[in-house]
Amino acid sequence: MQAKETLFVGLVQGRTQQFQVPLYQRTYSWTEKQLAQLWRDIVEQAELLEEGDSASKHFLGSVVLAPSPQNEATFPRWLVVDGQQRLTTLCLALAAIRDHIAGTQPDEAERINEDYLINKRKKGEDHFRLLPTQADRPQFAAHIHGTQAEHAAGDRIAAAYSFFRRKLVEAADPAASQDVFRIEQAITSRLTLVSVTADHGDNVHRIFESLNNTGLKLSQADLLRNYLFMRLPERGEHVYETHWLPLQESLSNDELEQLMWLQLVLDGDDRVRRQDLYAAQQKRFENEKAGEAEIEAYIRELHRRSAHFRRLIHPGEETDASVRAHLRRLEAWQAVVTYPALMLLLDRRERGEIDSAETARAMSYVESFLVRRMICRVPTNNLNRIFQSVPAQLPLDLPVADGLHQLLSAENRFWPDDDELRGKIRTAPFYQYGRWDQRKLVLQRLEESYEHPEPVDFAAAQLTIEHVMPQSPGDEWLRMLADDGADEESPEELHARLHHTLGNLTLTAVNAELSNRPFERKQDLLRGSHLEMNRRIAATGRWGAKEILARADELAERAIALWPAPLRGVGRAERSRDWNLAHQVLAALPHGTWTSYGDLAAFLGSGAQAVGNHLANTPGVVNAYRVLNADGKVSDKFRWTSQDESGEVQSRLIADGIHFTAGGAADPAQRLTSDDLALLLSGTEGGEEEEETGGGEAVRRPVENRGGETRAERFARQLAANDTPETVAAVRSVLARWEELGGWVGHGSGRVTTSAFLMLGEQGGPGYGVWPMTLYPGGGRGGTAEVVFQHLASREPFTDRALRAEFLKRLNKLEGVDIPEGKLELRPGFRLAVLEDDRNRELLCEALAWFRECWENREAL
């Protein structure tokens, strides 16, 4: 047996050979959770390459190989005893890179193919450098050949390939751009493997067990604490009592570890990862030949800085009112990424370099940087790098606040200027980006800017976000929009484009009462509001496109006054960012779905014609042919943009799982709306954030709301107010059956509209946090059952797409329920009214019983 450290390039490149996954091995099983972690490691290595760091490689794991019985001297074949998941994933990632560049750099695509994926002169199965298990071979071969293949509902090979195609499109975003060839280099030359090669007769399974035998790991803080006090034989007891014990009592172990990492960053190490904290600090002590005095000084400094850190996590401990207000808003924003900059500011203040007024001014730049980027939909995936680099890169020749302003204003930081902010407030679907509490905070700050003589106590007020023009408009709203729309834009398209924009949103405590009522009724309710922004809306004679855009312009000027601008314009990449967002969401389209030009335009905050022109003139946009007219037909103006793309569009769509009606239109059930598109990129789990629709924490105990009414009682009242007695009785019957099956019903924390979660597992116990669906009262439109496939995709055992597909199949047996397979990544729903049918209720309960059985047997599955 031989064991050596190697790289993927050293393992597979350079000669004709094949790695065979034995037939007794399990099929490919990585889910998006493992794929996402690998992608983060790849991107980190690509960033280190960009910075010139050639030492810090990432250990990926082991690969155990044994000679294949079909081995030949001129064509070595190896059995992959362990490591097939890693090798298959890396091959799929490289296939995705090859296809990503094929249209623009075909020679490089061919190089990747020949170096890593195929044996050029071999035929049949010998053509593949990696040969998966029998069940995985058709899909794997299709992706290596670059051909279309049937896509099974639970196919993880196809899902992994699609994941990497999507991530490569995201990597082209100008606000966090990654060079595709640097990503290739990170995969092939920066991920280290331990290759264990067995001889004939070696017990490879025993080797596998030894390599994978792991125990309980100590945290980074535990390791560093042990190291520190082993280096304090004389002073250890004194240092422990004086500095360490108070530090340990004031912070949790996780907070202490975070503080230790921040200390390294504040000392100028802007590349250290938190998981490498122990090794990095140990290396620093040993390089500096630190003795007891230096170790004691480090712990004393850690203790001093813990007071600053506590202000970040407990802003009430800050004595200055202005600084405290900024810290509270940043805490509400969940701006943990800003901690390096905030710690630096509090440290400089304690040292006397700046006063509290300058500290608050500097924090206003941090707040503005986050808020403007969120409003303008700049991706957040590079925020860690930006703020971690602040201590090392802060200009030394400027006052601290001015230096931070200049640093964040650099062109590659993408801090939107005033013009971009104005434009995005008018057009961007604000409601679809950022977290709910961030959106609410923006509206709260805008309300505060009116400086009402009796300001609202936002901490006590139960306010939610309200669409003035409702999300589900009635005929009166559509008639008004018909008067506002241009010839080429229908009322429905105008509504989709404007209803999520900031100009149409406000805060209210009467969301349920407002609902989708006509504007005249909303005026009466808004007129009595204590919020100045609502009184101004109520004073408007009508509420159409013109009024929404006028209010957007007014709010934009207030936003510009509230959140300082960068020192110079940084909006140069605005349009390319918008189009990259379009490319990202199209790359994320699930199999068996399509969208329309209007839906994509509403998602982007653009116009349908502009979207069509861009797609018609931009080669290489993944899934561009799956954007159709609103009626589900291919646009007369559609044309392929690359010589590599050809054929009849409808045939390609059918191969992608899209069904067509007798009239030649794509199935409308498979269409993704602008809300669906936003959900594809949101990462938001079903029902956990949208308080205004009744989401939030599902709790088992009978939590009371204001007025003594429990959440369960409020759900029953709201359900009865919006549905027929027959539907209410049917829902009660289903909830009772769920409890008979061993589940329990939790109710959401939405302050206005509540919900019912069908929960499994004891609250806080093993497996807690799994639910198949959430029931919502209708808010005037009839209640719905939301099937939370997106949530289940990250919960065992339903990370297996095949299980989610089986659940979908069982639900679709209900008459009146027809959820397409393409929505297995989303949160589709059906009307609660279908449960009035006895057979439908029985089928639903059978599906729920199956779901619970899968969950109970999750370890076996």
Based on the domain organization, do 185 and 277 belong to the same domain? no
More confidently predicted of 763 and 401: 401
Which has the minimum average pLDDT: 38-42, 473-477, 591-595, 695-699? Answer: 695-699
For residue 356, being part of any structural domain is answered with yes
pTM confidence score: 0.82
Question: Is there a contact between 74 and 119 (Cβ–Cβ < 8 Å)?
Answer: no
- pLDDT reading at 216 higher than 90: no
Based on the domain organization, do 52 and 9 belong to the same domain? yes
Question: Is there a contact between 31 and 14 (Cβ–Cβ < 8 Å)?
Answer: no
Domain harbouring 652, CATH code: 1.10.10.10
- pLDDT reading at 814 higher than 60: yes
Which has the minimum average pLDDT: 473-487, 711-725, 760-774? Answer: 760-774
pLDDT computed for residue 747 by the predictor: 87
Question: Is there a contact between 748 and 698 (Cβ–Cβ < 8 Å)?
Answer: yes
Cross-sheet strand order for the sheet of 756-759: 744-747, 756-759, 773-776, 784-787, 829-831
Average pLDDT over residues 741-750: 84
The rounded distance, in Å, linking the Cα atoms of 335 and 333 is 5
For residue 362, being part of any structural domain is answered with yes
For 288, residues 6+ apart whose C-beta sits below 8 A from its C-beta are 294
Question: Is there a contact between 133 and 122 (Cβ–Cβ < 8 Å)?
Answer: no
pLDDT tens digits for range 655-675: 888 999 988 999 999 999 998
pLDDT computed for residue 686 by the predictor: 36
For residue 861, being part of any structural domain is answered with no
Residue at a domain's end among 371, 393, 418: 418
Establish whether the linkage from the previous residue to 797 is cis, with ω within 30° of 0.
yes
- pLDDT reading at 150 higher than 70: no
For residue 559, being part of any structural domain is answered with no
Q: How many helices (H) and strands (E) does the chain have?
A: 38, 15
Based on the domain organization, do 313 and 376 belong to the same domain? yes
Based on the domain organization, do 628 and 514 belong to the same domain? no
Based on the domain organization, do 672 and 692 belong to the same domain? no
pLDDT computed for residue 644 by the predictor: 58
Which has the minimum average pLDDT: 466-475, 493-502, 558-567, 831-840? Answer: 466-475
pLDDT tens digits for range 259-269: 999 999 998 88
Based on the domain organization, do 692 and 668 belong to the same domain? no
pLDDT computed for residue 297 by the predictor: 93
Residue at a domain's end among 658, 676, 694: 676
In angstroms, what CA-CA distances link 341 with 221, 297, 769?
22, 23, 34
Residue at a domain's end among 418, 449, 482: 418
pLDDT tens digits for range 181-197: 999 999 999 999 988 88
- pLDDT reading at 570 higher than 50: no
Based on the domain organization, do 652 and 751 belong to the same domain? no
Question: What is the number of domains present in the chain?
Answer: 5
- pLDDT reading at 374 higher than 60: yes
pLDDT tens digits for range 609-665: 889 989 988 888 999 999 999 999 998 888 887 665 667 888 889 988 899 998 899
CA torsion sign for 313, 315, 320, 321 is positive
pLDDT computed for residue 574 by the predictor: 47
pLDDT tens digits for range 98-108: 999 988 899 99
Based on the domain organization, do 204 and 235 belong to the same domain? no
pLDDT band at 573 (very low <50, low <70, confident <90, very high): very low
More confidently predicted of 207 and 682: 682
pLDDT tens digits for range 673-701: 998 998 888 753 333 344 444 444 555 55
Q: Which domain holds residue 451?
A: 435-553
Quote the strand ranges of 692-832, DSSP E.
744-747, 756-759, 773-776, 784-787, 829-831
pLDDT computed for residue 210 by the predictor: 60
Based on the domain organization, do 756 and 622 belong to the same domain? no
Which has the minimum average pLDDT: 367-371, 709-713, 783-787? Answer: 709-713
Question: Is there a contact between 597 and 81 (Cβ–Cβ < 8 Å)?
Answer: no
- pLDDT reading at 214 higher than 60: no
Burial (CB count <10 Å: 0-12, 13-18, 19+), residue 663: exposed
The share of the chain scoring above pLDDT 90, in percent, equals 51
For residue 471, being part of any structural domain is answered with yes
Based on the domain organization, do 589 and 659 belong to the same domain? yes
For residue 801, being part of any structural domain is answered with yes
Q: What average pLDDT does the structure give for the chain?
A: 87
Per-position b or e across 547-566, b if 16+ CB within 10 A of its CB = bbbebbeebbebbbebbbbb
Which has the minimum average pLDDT: 28-37, 147-156, 373-382? Answer: 147-156
Based on the domain organization, do 694 and 739 belong to the same domain? yes
For residue 564, being part of any structural domain is answered with no
The rounded distance, in Å, linking the Cα atoms of 212 and 86 is 14
pLDDT computed for residue 705 by the predictor: 55
pLDDT computed for residue 623 by the predictor: 92
For residue 561, being part of any structural domain is answered with no
For residue 413 the two structure tokens come to: 């930081």
Average pLDDT over residues 239-248: 90
The share of the chain scoring above pLDDT 70, in percent, equals 89
pLDDT band at 593 (very low <50, low <70, confident <90, very high): very high
pLDDT computed for residue 152 by the predictor: 63
Based on the domain organization, do 271 and 170 belong to the same domain? no
Find the DSSP H helices in 314-449.
321-332, 339-350, 356-375, 383-388, 390-393, 400-408, 418-427, 436-448
For 19, residues 6+ apart whose C-beta sits below 8 A from its C-beta are 12, 65, 77, 78, 80, 87, 129, 130, 131
pLDDT computed for residue 694 by the predictor: 43
CA proximity to 425, closest of 377, 484, 468: 377
**Angle at alpha carbon of residue 129, lines to 126 and 135, rounded to 5°:** 75
